[in-house]
Amino acid sequence: MTVAAPVLRHDWSLSEIERIYASPLPDLIFRAQTVHRAHHRPDEVQGCMLLSIKTGGCPEDCAYCPQSAHYKTDVKRTDLASLEDVTEAATRAREQGATRFCMGAAWRDAPKGAQFTQVLDMVRMVRGLGMEACCTLGMLTQDQANQLADAGLSAYNHNLDTSPEFYGNIITTRTYDDRLNTLKRVRDAGITVCSGGIIGMGENMGGRCRMLQQLATLDPHPESVPVNLLVRVEGTPLADMKAEDPIELVRTIATARILMPTSFVRLSAGRMSLSDEAQALCFLAGANSVFLGERLLTTPNPGTTHDEALLDRLGMRLTTSNASAPAHAGG
Ligand code: SAM
Ligand code: DTB
Ligand code: SF4
């Protein structure tokens, strides 16, 4: 359900965002719910399924990431998966209720040549199954973005991850501007943008608001905004971070919902460390998508049986219709 011509703002100031974020929780949730209900069905969440199509050995040094070659983690490196294996996984995902299938690869940038052609084939296959297709392959050239668009890619995931000021504490092998440039290429190719970040990496409230400001001042807004709670993986520099207060996740989601009313806000990584009640609060705050299945890319996720039971308890359900790509202009 969408409402005609929503008023979307792209000029949010940091102080405005901080005021929203820090408002009393009942006020914050009320405002987020009001915005949410004007643009989305409050009892539905989209189910997305993730598959790691090329795992580990990544040359980037993202401090949170178990797939970085800079850190010694339990992740086993793999080559690019075969089209056959990915077709099987996508078919299973659809059977489990997913309407979006996301393929992730641990690359600094998308490769040229045969491997890229193979990814294009995967995109066509997923679209052929009637699901939205999303990829996250690292940085793209304009030509690669255009080819992905031609293959029918619905969305490209490329997260800003954190605020521009905090970014250097987390990643040194590429810049914030590199990220923004890829997002621009994706947008120019006509692919919808999926971009969000991670909370719980030691940033403060101002940092979270600055990240949200970066996302909400993109014009159009990203159609999809994944909010990840750091999964603290043994061997990564952030393994011993103190656990983030789930209420901060709820506040981040509610603020994202208020700033970007028509976007999908995705409750992404980190659900294994959230109670069902905390997840319910995230839905009240305007999250309208989750990843299904027992695995994200390399780390565990609650799994479909648990999620079905949770949604059932909440009187909610997975979205069954598949808008082949979000119909609304997004932002
Ligand atoms: N290599 C590509 C890239 O960085 O864009 C795609 C894959 S990367 C794993 C996709 C996103 O997953 C990252 O941008 C980050 O936001 C998220 N992510 C990775 N490890 C995570 C962790 N331990 N906890 C939470 N989110 C994580
Ligand atoms: C996103 O923002 N979160 C997903 C998806 N985009 C690709 C990935 C989460 C990965 C969590 C760590 C792992 O499982 O390796
Ligand atoms: Fe590589 Fe992406 Fe992990 Fe960074 S987040 S190390 S770019 S796979």
Q: What is the pLDDT of residues 154-186, one digit of tens each?
A: 999 999 999 999 999 999 999 999 999 999 999
Q: Name the token pair of 154.
A: 């619905």
Pick the catalytic residue from 102, 135, 209, 282.
Answer: 102
Pick the catalytic residue from 94, 185, 266, 271.
Answer: 266
Asked if residue 132 has its Cβ within 6 Å of ligand 3, the reply is no
Q: Name the token pair of 270.
A: 């980190």
Of 224, 305, 312, give the one whose Cα is nearest residue 40.
224
Residue 5 pLDDT greater than 70, yes or no: no
Strands 224-229 and 44-54, by their bridges, are unpaired
Instruction: Supply the pLDDT for residue 3.
Output: 52
Residue 1 pLDDT greater than 80, yes or no: no
Which residue type occupies 86?
V
Instruction: Supply the pLDDT for residue 174.
Output: 96
Which band of pLDDT confidence, cut at 50, 70 and 90, is reported for residue 327? Answer: very low
Q: What average pLDDT does range 225-246 have in this prediction?
A: 98
Q: What is the pLDDT of residues 195-219, one digit of tens each?
A: 999 999 999 999 999 999 999 999 9
Q: 254 C-alpha to center of ligand 3: Å?
A: 27
Q: 193 C-alpha to center of ligand 3: Å?
A: 18
Asked if residue 60 has its Cβ within 6 Å of ligand 3, the reply is yes
Q: What is the pLDDT of residues 302-324, one digit of tens each?
A: 998 999 999 999 999 999 875 44
Instruction: Supply the pLDDT for residue 7.
Output: 82
Q: What is the pLDDT of residues 279-291, one digit of tens each?
A: 999 999 999 999 9
Instruction: Supply the pLDDT for residue 30.
Output: 98
Asked if residue 246 has its Cβ within 6 Å of ligand 3, the reply is no
Task: Based on the residue annotation, tell me whether 317 is a catalytic residue of this protein.
Answer: no
Task: Based on the residue annotation, tell me whether 58 is a catalytic residue of this protein.
Answer: yes
Residue 114 pLDDT greater than 70, yes or no: yes
| Least-confidence region, from 47-61, 145-159, 316-330 | 316-330
Which residue type occupies 7?
V
Instruction: Supply the pLDDT for residue 320.
Output: 86
Pick the catalytic residue from 48, 94, 100, 134.
Answer: 134
Domains of the chain: 19-314 (3.20.20.70)
Contacting residues for 184 by C-beta, under 8 A, at least 6 apart: none
Asked if residue 296 has its Cβ within 6 Å of ligand 2, the reply is yes
Residue 4 pLDDT greater than 70, yes or no: no
> Contact at 8 Å (CB) between 276 and 307?
no
Task: Based on the residue annotation, tell me whether 102 is a catalytic residue of this protein.
Answer: yes
Instruction: Supply the pLDDT for residue 330.
Output: 37
Residue 266 pLDDT greater than 90, yes or no: yes
Q: What is the pLDDT of residues 7-39, one digit of tens each?
A: 899 999 999 999 999 999 999 999 999 999 999
Task: Based on the residue annotation, tell me whether 48 is a catalytic residue of this protein.
Answer: no
Q: What average pLDDT does range 102-112 have in this prediction?
A: 97
User: What distance in Å separates the CA atoms of residue 164 and residue 315, rounded to the nearest whole number?
Assistant: 39
Task: Based on the residue annotation, tell me whether 209 is a catalytic residue of this protein.
Answer: no
Mutate to test the pocket of ligand 2, among 157, 183, 265, 273 (most ligand atoms within 8 A of CB): 157
Instruction: Supply the pLDDT for residue 117.
Output: 97
Model confidence, pTM:
0.95
Q: What average pLDDT does range 63-79 have in this prediction?
A: 97
Asked if residue 136 has its Cβ within 6 Å of ligand 2, the reply is yes
Asked if residue 123 has its Cβ within 6 Å of ligand 1, the reply is no
Asked if residue 135 has its Cβ within 6 Å of ligand 1, the reply is no
Half-sphere exposure (CA, 13 Å, Cβ side) for 193?
A: 28
Q: 64 C-alpha to center of ligand 3: Å?
A: 9
Q: 136 C-alpha to center of ligand 1: Å?
A: 9
Q: What is the pLDDT of residues 74-94, one digit of tens each?
A: 999 999 999 999 999 999 999
Residue 292 pLDDT greater than 50, yes or no: yes
Q: 65 C-alpha to center of ligand 3: Å?
A: 6
